[in-house]
Structure 1
Amino acid sequence: MLALVIPVGLLIGLSLGALGGGGSILAVPALVYLFGQSSHAATTGSLLIVGTTSLVGALPHRRAGRVSLAKGAVFGILGILGSYIGSRFSTAVPQDVLLAAFSVLILFVAVLMIRRQRRKPARGGQPAVDPALADAPVITFRPEFTCDCRRAVRIVLTATTVGLLTGFFGVGGGFAVVPALVLALGLSMPVAVGTSLLVIGINSVTALAFRLDQGLDLDWTVIGLFTLSAVLGGLAGNRVVSRVNPARLSQAFAILLVAVALYTAARSIPHLF
């Protein structure tokens, strides 16, 4: 099974580097079903893999001017409370319940990716904005320093929710971070993809820190190879994003997510009854 670590890790890193999210959600089912880890050990190992890959992958994006350090750092810091709460709740949930809930999350992400690709582009080649998200939270800075506090609260809630998902499921939450950065903070899509890696890294590192006292027995050989291959995939994804149509990559990945969600559900849900 160790032979599968490198290709799966490359796939996860490639998605993170090219799409700013999505790939990390494969880490947990891969660690559980391919390498026989418990769900709690897998979600912890996933945080290490995803956090390292995201932070390293953010470097070439930063050099290319596709990372907003200030906005990314603020968004990540706002998610720390959610990371703590999610990490604590995760240990109290039975393994099959956690995996069943995880299958629902994977399917939701796949549907979200498919809907985003079907949405017609607006004028000027920019993605159309979902009317339901048109009033997304934005903090406005003017000479007199005015702040729309209602929208600011929504930003805090969004960041906290992303942190909660990271801490509970061991995923980066890039599927939520990228649209949040575009709609809430007004970043362009390329900058949102690069900045999301910084946010994912911050969320993953803080959630991992909250789990260090849980005494889990981690397979460091698998995690080390997984992380190394994911980092290489992330660096390759940085090149892919400028050469390959991200829409096609996203569509193919969404199909893969559907298959993984159905498999995870089939393996975990029967044990709930």
Structure 2
Amino acid sequence: MMLALLLGGLIGLVLGLTGAGGGILAVPALVLGLGWPMTQAAPVALLAVGVSAAVGAIDGLRQRIVRWRAALLMALLGTLFTPVGLLLAHRLPERWLMGLFCAVLLVVAWRMFSQSRDRPCAGSGIDHSWEQKNCMLNQRTGRLDWTWRCSLTLSVVGSCCGFLTGLLGVGGGFLLVPAFRQLTDIRVHGIIATSLMVIALVSGTAILGALHAGVRIPLAGGYFIGASVVGMLAGRVLSPRLPARVLQVGFAALCVGVTLYLGSQVL
């Protein structure tokens, strides 16, 4: 019980601090920490991340920093592609799923570390990558300009998020946050809050599908889920007080460490 509480609290804390990585670290935590098979760990991880993300998203909505229209669009597309990932997950051997998981972790670590080194161009103080963003905020209204390019970008990101949610039992924040940073000019705390709303909506759909298929949550899973919510609340309090670069580098290092350990168990 204590181990489930500790692991759940840590996963919730990571999710609250970064808006990413809760799901992608929750599955290894349950597989390695509690010795569960991946097929059992994935639904519990999704439920923990989904509930925790919902708490964070509600807080973001209260602060009016959630881009809720973008979140709804991505969640809708994610919901449509989640069953595709679930279907494929049940057809692949456990060893293949773990290998895919390790590969995704390494990609996430590389992206996070790369973005932590990005710097605005010197001189006038203007970021010259401004015009390269697919989704831009209207400087007059402060809202996203809904061009066809922006809509298509958000649709693709949401679809990929839903597919990976079904395939690997992850929330998708590891994809959403880097994508938002690369493709939009939304500020980091708005990115995290919007990501949490998408994670909550997409994870909820996957959870309902898993429960309908007969998956049951054990008692230890309940402790894990409850502790993750507490960790999320703590992470939301701490997040504005920590530099974004510190969070990115720390998360990247954590992903590499988990990948090495998880890979050593698979091989």
TM-score by length of 2: 0.87
Structure 1 residues 201-248: Cα deviation after superposition (integer angstroms, max 9, x where no partner): 0111111222223333542x2211111111111111111111122321
The corresponding residue for 1:68 is 67
Counterpart of 2:113, as a letter, is: I
For the pair 1:50 / 2:49, whether they are aligned, the reply is: yes
Does structure 1 retain, via aligned residues, the 8 Å contact 2:177–2:195?
yes
Higher mean alpha-carbon deviation, 234-243 vs 4-13, is at 4-13
SS of 2:87's equivalent in the other structure is helix
For the pair 1:13 / 2:36, whether they are aligned, the reply is: no
Counterpart of 1:240, as a letter, is: L
Structure 1 residues 67-111: Cα deviation after superposition (integer angstroms, max 9, x where no partner): 122221222112111111111111111111111110111111111
The corresponding residue for 1:115 is 114
- 1:143-162 alignment, distance < 5 Å: 148-149=147-148, 152-162=151-161
- 1:77-88 alignment, distance < 5 Å: 77-88=76-87
Aligned-residue CA RMSD (Å): 2.6
Sequence identity of aligned pairs in percent?
Answer: 32
Does structure 1 retain, via aligned residues, the 8 Å contact 2:51–2:229?
yes
1-side partners of 2:129 and 2:23: how far apart? Answer: 25
1-side partners of 2:8 and 2:231: how far apart? Answer: 7
- 1:214-225 alignment, distance < 5 Å: 214-219=213-218, 221-225=219-223
- 1:171-250 alignment, distance < 5 Å: 171-184=170-183, 186-219=185-218, 221-250=219-248
For the pair 1:38 / 2:37, whether they are aligned, the reply is: yes
The corresponding residue for 2:142 is none
Shift in Å, 1:191: 0.9
For the pair 1:4 / 2:3, whether they are aligned, the reply is: yes
Does structure 1 retain, via aligned residues, the 8 Å contact 2:46–2:169?
yes
1-side partners of 2:241 and 2:101: how far apart? Answer: 32
For the pair 1:91 / 2:90, whether they are aligned, the reply is: yes
1-side partners of 2:136 and 2:57: how far apart? Answer: 24
For the pair 1:104 / 2:108, whether they are aligned, the reply is: no
1-side partners of 2:27 and 2:125: how far apart? Answer: 35
TM-score by length of 1: 0.85
Distance 1:106 1:128, change over 3 A: farther
Shift in Å, 1:29: 0.9
Distance 1:196 1:128, change over 3 A: farther
Structure 1 ranges of 4+ moved more than 4 A: 122-131, 137-140, 182-186
2-side partners of 1:127 and 1:47: how far apart? Answer: 37
Counterpart of 1:261, as a letter, is: T
Higher mean alpha-carbon deviation, 182-191 vs 162-171, is at 182-191
1-side partners of 2:220 and 2:97: how far apart? Answer: 22
Counterpart of 2:221, as a letter, is: I
SS of 1:178's equivalent in the other structure is helix
Higher mean alpha-carbon deviation, 246-255 vs 26-35, is at 246-255
Counterpart of 1:114, as a letter, is: F
Distance 1:114 1:176, change over 3 A: same
Higher mean alpha-carbon deviation, 65-74 vs 169-178, is at 65-74
Shift in Å, 1:152: 3.2
Counterpart of 1:155, as a letter, is: L
Distance 1:101 1:120, change over 3 A: same
The corresponding residue for 2:141 is none
2-side partners of 1:109 and 1:248: how far apart? Answer: 16
